[in-house]
Structure 1
């Protein structure tokens, strides 16, 4: 009994000593880390002066709290900070730093990053021209287009932003990502002249056929149902793909008609493999057999690679 109590007391004493040693070791480690960080910051200040972190924490006075006054920084640094803001935040920043946030270079960058091509960019602008006002007009025109495409294009033309030319309109559409794709599809279906110029802006050189078709449908969205408009799109794509790859089409025996057949086969295969309603998926052998019946000059290896691409990557017109 006495020996048992002695062992319990001895174990408690050993556990307390181990706890104290671990605690002291942790405290010493924390002090070493804190000392090292302080010395590192001190070395940075001695060697290179205040770094960017301390510069951004600068205050007008020691007692002042809040955001840094950008006017205290070098102009290059202030403009770099403001260039990360969107239009709404930049307008809010202009309430505090009016001269900086209203700078034309900032608003010019916002315009060209959202609408990369406008006819007005290549024109000589009047002295009172403002890129901030242009941004507001471009945003208003885009919203108008997404409600009524024809009125949106007319808005851009009436304000001198776009020239009344199919080529200029197609470049604007090609370089803009703020337009609603459903409204854009309706507009292109009505304006086939703009669609023709839009297709020529694509470069499919040295691209695998399914990848080129995906890129094409990312800019010109496919209709939800098969019909005359889809046939028109595939026809225009087939001719453009062959014109961009004359050597490839010669080696593989591809012609616009053969590419047209392959595109339709790829679309149907994409639907078959991705649809949850299709239980019996088309096999690679079935795809090769069905495709070569319509395009006999195409090799089995090439058609097999097409199947593998759709199977691994997915839909071409999603």
Structure 2
């Protein structure tokens, strides 16, 4: 038993005995009793931590310890957060020190392979860092030929001061000019020595280029039938099914939006070219260029009939076979049926 009268345990015991004698113990609720016991235990802990030669802790000393305890807790939280921030700053600093991969330190073939995946804009930006690598002629030559597959200047001895980077800029400028005015665009290419003034060379350029506006191209080909003739001969329809060959043809030479003389010209040129590429098939099926012409027109009308939302009563397979054989009696029924199935499953031939 504690005999020190100043000790909290002794005072608590005295109060309990007094309460039992007077019957006033009920003024202590369960929560108040628990709080009192907690204060006793807490005071004992503080006394053991702050015991000095003069005795137990004073109230002011205990308050300072409690304040220090709270500040230590806050310091640990701040320190923990500080460690995370420090780690992030350290990681960021290390990444900044590492920087981008220096392509000049890699083998040349690997550096060129990495840069070959860039387009012209990104390659110009890369030249600000790796000037010798990004300005390499092989890279710009690949960009030119991947976008403009054929140019007359490719097969000529390059003039003094020639560079494929400069050629790329000229080709891009000429394509933009063509998309605004086809005649001016072709004249620009010729003035720079990129194209020769030949229908065949122009046709090859158009056939191997995908950056030209198809509406402007259709206008240009309608005016330059000599270029159109050479462009048609560049297509190879050997061993192709007729609807698939017609789709490929209209993918390079877009069909007009309306029927007219230009559409008839395109179908006529396609029919002769298709027969020239498949002489054995024509003999086997007994088809002539005129018969192929009728089949192409029938396929275009069938495509419109099956794909147009305005046509409610779609043409049946039996109706298509009957109408087609009525126009061309030598065509077999099975072959015409396969034509219908192709349009029904794949879609329009001139979309």
The TM-score with structure 1 as length reference comes to 0.80
- Is residue 167 of structure 2 the alignment partner of residue 134 of structure 1? yes
Q: Aligned pair in 2 of structure 1 residues 257, 74: CA closer, same or farther (>3 Å)?
A: same
Task: Tell me the SS of whatever aligns to 1:176.
Answer: coil
For residues 286 and 344 of structure 2, the distance between their equivalents in structure 1, rounded to whole angstroms, comes to 24
Structure 2: how far apart are the matches of 1:152 and 1:70?
38
2:154 pairs with 105, 115, 121, which one? 121
Q: How does 1:29-178 map to 2 (within 5 A)?
A: 64-178=97-211
CA distance in 2, matches of 1:255, 1:143: 42
Aligned mates of 2:322, 2:271 — CA distance in 1: 22
- Give matches, 1:1-318, under 5 Å: 64-318=97-351
User: Secondary structure at the residue paired with 1:207?
Assistant: coil
Structure 1: runs of 5+ lacking an equivalent: 1-60
| Cα offset, 1:63, TM superposition | 7.2
Distance 1:74 1:195, change over 3 A: same
Q: Distance in 1 between the 2:290 and 2:221 partners? A: 23
- My pick for the range that moved more, 63-72 or 278-287, is 63-72
CA deviation profile, 1:138-159 (whole Å, cap 9, x unmatched): 0000000000000000000000
The alpha carbon displacement at 1:126 in A equals: 2.0
For 1:71-106, what per-residue CA distance to the aligned partner results, in whole angstroms no more than 9, with x for missing partners?
Answer: 111111111000000000000000111010000000
Shift of 1:127: 3.4
Structure 2 unmatched ranges of 5 or more:
1-93
Q: Give the secondary structure class of the aligned counterpart of 1:310.
A: helix
Q: How far is the alpha carbon of 1:69 from its aligned partner?
A: 1.1
- CA-atom RMSD in angstroms: 1.0
Distance (whole Å) between structure 2 residues aligned to residue 78 and residue 156 of structure 1: 33
Distance 1:72 1:127 in 2: 32
Q: How many residues align?
A: 258
Q: When the two structures are superposed, what TM-score results if normalisation uses the length of structure 2?
A: 0.73
Q: How far, CA to CA, are the matches of 2:277 and 2:232 in structure 1?
A: 12
In structure 1, how many angstroms separate the alpha carbons of the residues matched to 2:289 and 2:95? Answer: 74
Map of 1:36 onto structure 2: none
**Runs of 4+ more than 6 Å apart:** none
The Cα of 1:128 is off from its aligned counterpart by: 1.1
Q: Give the whole-Å Cα distance in 2 for the aligned partners of 1:292 and 1:63.
A: 75
Structure 2 CA distance for partners of 1:292 and 1:83, relative to 1, 3 Å? same
C-alpha distance in structure 2 between counterparts of 1:244 and 1:65, whole Å:
60
Structure 1 stretch 106-115 or stretch 64-73: which is displaced more?
Answer: 64-73
Q: Which has the higher contact order (CA 8 A, sep 6+)?
A: 1
- 1:67 to partner: Cα distance: 1.0
Over 3 Å counting, the alpha-carbon distance change for 1:74 and 1:263 in structure 2 is: same
Residues in 2 aligned to 1:144 and 1:316: alpha-carbon distance in whole angstroms: 30
